Structures are given as C-alpha cells and as structure tokens.
Chains A and B, each alone.
Chain A
Amino acid sequence: MTSALAKDIKELVRSCSAKEAALLPALYLAQGKTGCLDDKALELVSDTLLIPRARVRGVASFYDMFRSGPMGRHIIRLCTNVVCMIMGAEKLADMLDRKYGVKPFETSPDSRFSLVIMECIGACGTAPAMLVNDDLHENLSEDRIVEILDNYK
C-alpha cells in the first residue's frame, strides 16, 4: 500500500508544472489512502518528495481539512460562523451531540461520524449549512439533519 502511494505521489509530481506545488496534493493523496495524516503518512510524503519531515508536518498541521488522527466513517463539517450562527447553527451542534453522540472535533462512539466545526463554507445564503464528506447540505433544521444523516451509514 505504501509503495503504491509513493508511486502515485511521484506520478503527481510529474503532472505538476512546478514540483513545489506537489506537496498539498500529495498530502491529500496520502490522507485519501491512509485515512488520516498520521506520523507514518507524513514520513512517506516526506521521503517520497524529499522534503524535510519538519516542513511536511508544519504544512500539514496548518490546514483545517487535514486530519492527524483517525476519523469516523463520515465527516460532518458544520459551519458556526456569524451568519450560520444567527440562523441557528449552535442548536444544531447541540443536537448532533444529543442524537449522534458526536462532539465538536471528536468522533462518535460508534465511529460513524466525526464533527468538525468550520469557519464559513460559503453557503451563507442558505444557512445553516454543512458538508458531509463532499456533499453540501443547506437550509438545515434538526429534522432535515436527521433525514440527511440517515443516508450516511
């Protein structure tokens, strides 16, 4: 698995116009394959791209969409920035805890969901909103969330 990933990363560098621009896509590739950017994943990226460990870790730890620990099967990214907040996002976060056992930046005990609190996902006109994996869900209410999450087993 690791050699397949290393191969994919090398292929990525070839298709990039500038090798410097390969680090972020390589991190995404590694996260996609291994589930999270733990030490082993970071080391593999570092060794394949010949970038120092510290620099890879420094870059990976900066971004909100890279995760360093294991996540649930589905990642809920709920926005609680100002517009979503005034449209009721905080109550939705409470409901996610009550009904699914998932607290902000934690994973539910059954490993079904992880909850990441987001800072504006650009859906303010249809707030409150969340991403579940790559799917955007808008105009949320407690009932809508139950309907939506039913599709994510």
Chain B
Amino acid sequence: MNEDDLARRIVGQLDRNLAELPASATQKLQAARMAALSRYRADLPQGRARALALPRWFSGRSLTLRLALPLAIVIASITGLLFWQMSAPHEDELDTGLLAGELPIHAYIDPGFDTWLQHTSHTPQQ
C-alpha cells in the first residue's frame, strides 16, 4: 500500500466517524470554528485586512465591475504618462531648441538680460 492509498483510508475512516457524531458535538465544533475565525479577523493588521478585503470585494462583484477597476487604473496611468510627456518637453528637445534657436544661449543665463527685460517694459517675464 502506498502513501496515497493510506491517506484515502484514513480520510474515509474520519468521514465515517464524523457522520456519526451527535448533533450537540457538531454544533460545538461549528461554534468554536466561527469564534476562531472572528478572532482571527479582529487580530489582522490593518494593511493585511485591507489586502484581504479587496479580493473579497472583487469576488462579490460582476465580471464587468471586476474588469472596470483595473481598466480604469490602466487608462488613468496611460493618460497621466501621455500628459506628462506632452507637458514636459524632453531635455533633448530643449537642448536642440537652445542650440539651434534664434536667441543666443547666453541670453537665457545672463541675469543682466532678465533685469533689462524687466526695466524696459512690458517684456515677457515670469
């Protein structure tokens, strides 16, 4: 007899005996199990409890709802990335603009020119 056969026999014996248990004993076992489970949930650290709550939330929702949240996260991430790329020009683009632009590079770093622009008017300044 190999290990699997032995395991099957033991499980069979246990199941048979379980079916013959008096109702009072089954009720006590069930109450003990519920008490243990409720204590276990109460003892869970906050983060872990939240981590377990999400899969529970998912399992209780329809397929559409379960897909909607990850999809919304992906769309928001892509939108954020695109917005970042469009609003923050790449340094290569800036460097090329500085090197090839009509205004000399020095104009962008000379503090005297900034002051001159301020003094002489309605000049572009930030």
A complexed with B: no
Q: What residues make up the interface of B, taking CB atoms closer than 8 Å to A?
A: none
Q: What residues make up the interface of A, taking CB atoms closer than 8 Å to B?
A: none
